[in-house]
Each structure stands twice: as structure tokens, then as C-alpha cells.
Amino acid sequence: MLFQYIDDFLTHLRIEKSASELTLVSYRTDLYQFFNYLAWRYSIECEDVPREALNHKNVRDYLASLQDQGMSRATIARKLATLRSFVRYLCRENILPSNPIASVSTPRQEKRLPEFLYPQEMSMLLEAPDREKTSGIRDRAILETLYGGGMRVSELVGLDVNDVNFDEDYIRLHGKGDKERIAPLGSQARDALLAYLEYSRPLYLKEDHREEKALFLNKFGGRLSSRSIRNIINKYVDELALTQKVSPHTLRHTFATDLLNGGADLRSVQELLGHVRLSTTQIYTHLTKNKIKTIHNQKHPRR
């Protein structure tokens, strides 16, 4: 039976690969979903799924069922990657004699440009919070920090007060795989954070949370969650009636796009984003419509 090895696999990821808690939750969810599918197919319990059920045909049928549910190719590819990683672990531990899904191909990915905001839209979003309100001061600091540092939402909510160095204007981020990196602290983000720490954060602190280390706090005095950040952004997007869907990652896309359009080199942007591979950063080398039009007007002989 293979289901029992999931916990051992996750322990391996946490200790040997320094996988984050978010990654572990994602892997566990993907593997439970796969075993639930096999259990339904064989009309048995997950714990009773035999090794023989982990084969090429069943995995292909599972992927097809995910597609029928309307899942994106990217999501299906991620779930297959989780399963492949689990099977490689089982082979390495001699639990499986060989890899039964080695020939399963990854779904062809849709090539989509990352969504981003134009400078005017980004400026409107940053200015949207009411700085006369405690929540507005906090939200402005959140938006300025998220955009100014190009960070992931998980990195933002993981920030502690002592991760911000105002003397040298940088923020220490805890990225994927527990890797640390430094993000610059721009003047706008600096001012917004100082205002938040002086006027807003003390009002969010509760008597039983006086020793709270988290930088950004919720109304209960605890650390804000990733979902809370998404809700905050959605609130201002709705107020501004922006036509596109905006997520915390949209601000990260905008950060990278603005840097590249401003002349930053790809390697520097890679470092700022915390990407391991340059190819991951290259998706941001698209140009805005205005930039394309400007280049066309300047360079094309038939403009």
C-alpha cells in the first residue's frame, strides 16, 4: 500500500528540501486527491489502494478527469509534478522497483503573458486607501511594500517587524524553500511603513498580543493571512472599478514589467524576484502596448 508513505515523503521534503509549509500543504492536497480518485475507481479506501493501481493508464485517466473538471493545464501539470516527485521518492527508497509513470507526458502549456497594471492604474491603486483611517494607513503600507519589493504574498505576510531595516533601506524576505533574500526599500514604501508603524500598528495590537512580531496585523492583533491581503486588494480594485482582475501576484508582475520597461537588465530583475532560473524571469520581457507603439513610431520606416 502506498498511501501510508505520503507522510514520510512530506517529511523528506521538509528536512531534505527545506520545503515551505505552503508547499507541503499543496503536495499533501494533490496526493490525497489522486488517491481519492483511485479509491473511487476501485471502490476501496485510500489506505487500501494497491501498488499496481499506480500505473500509466490510471494516471492518464486521472489527468483526463481533471481536465473534464475544467482545471487549467498549469494546475494539471503541477499535480502531475507532485505525483512524479512522490514516485521518484518511492523508487529511491526501494518501495517501488521502477517508475511506472515515467512515460506520462506533461500537458502542453498555454503561453500566456503575465497580467500587469499600467503605471496610471498602479498609481490609482496605491493612492486608493484612505490615510485618515487606521486601516487605510495599513493598507497603503501593504500595497507600497508589496509592489515596491516585488515580493510574493507569502513573503509579505511572513514579514516580522525586525525584517525591515530602515537604516539601510532594505527588507529581509523569507522566500521559497526557506531561502532568504534582500529586497530594496524604496522611499514611498519607507514612508508608508513608518506611518503604519507609528500611527496604525499600535492600534491593531491587543493586550494579549503585545509581543506579536508580525509586521502586518489584522483586527484581532494577529498576523494577516494571504487571503486577507487578497481581500484588501479586491476591495480597492472594486472601488476603482478596474476592468481586470488584480491579485497580489499582479503587483509582482507589474514590479518586474516596470523595471524591464525602465531599462533594468534581466539578471538584476531575476535577483530581485528571487527566481532560481533565468527562464522564469523571461516571461516578463513582454512590452506594454504603449512601449510597442513608441518603438514602432521611432523605428519603423512606414510609421
Ordered by start, the domain boundaries in the chain are 3-92, 119-294
**Confidence at residue 302, expressed as pLDDT on a 0 to 100 scale:** 67
Percentage, residues of the chain above pLDDT 70 = 92
Does position 12 have pLDDT exceeding 70, yes or no? yes
Average of pLDDT values for 29-54?
A: 95
pLDDT of residue 291: 63
- Number of neighbouring beta carbons within 10 Å of residue 63: 22
- What confidence category does residue 293 fall into, taking pLDDT thresholds of 50, 70 and 90? low
CATH of domain 3-92: 1.10.150
pLDDT tens sequence across 232-261 = 999 999 999 887 889 999 999 999 988 988
* Per-residue model confidence as pLDDT tens digits over 63-76: 999 989 988 888 99
The pLDDT tens digits for 116-155 are 888 899 999 999 999 999 999 999 999 999 999 999 999 9
Which helix (H) or strand (E) segment is 11 a member of? helix 6-16
Q: Which residue has the higher pLDDT, 40 or 282?
A: 40
The set of catalytic residues is 152, 176, 249, 252, 275, 284
Question: In this predicted structure, what is the pLDDT of residue 287?
Answer: 56
The strand pair at 180-184 and 164-165 is best described as unpaired
Q: How many residues does the chain have?
A: 303
The three grid cell numbers given for residue 155, joined into one nine-digit string: 513573503
Q: What is the dihedral of CA 196, 202, 204, 205, to 10 degrees?
A: 140
DSSP 196: I
pLDDT: which is higher, 88 or 302:
88
User: Under a CB-based contact definition with an 8 Å cutoff, are residues 87 and 96 in contact?
Assistant: yes
Q: What confidence score (pLDDT) does residue 3 get?
A: 93
Q: Which CATH superfamily is domain 119-294 in?
A: Intergrase catalytic core (1.10.443.10)
Query: d(Cα 144, Cα 163) in Å, to the nearest integer?
Result: 16
With bands split at pLDDT 50, 70 and 90, how would you rate the model's confidence at 98? very high
Phi (first) and psi of residue 24, to 5 degrees? -65, -40
Integer-rounded Cα radius of gyration of the chain: 23
Rounded distance between C-alpha atoms, residue 158 and residue 292, angstroms: 37
Q: Give, in order, the Cα–Cα distances in Å from 219 to each of 158, 201, 224, 269.
A: 17, 10, 9, 35
Integer Cα distance of 292 and 281 in angstroms: 20
d(CA 34, CA 104): 15
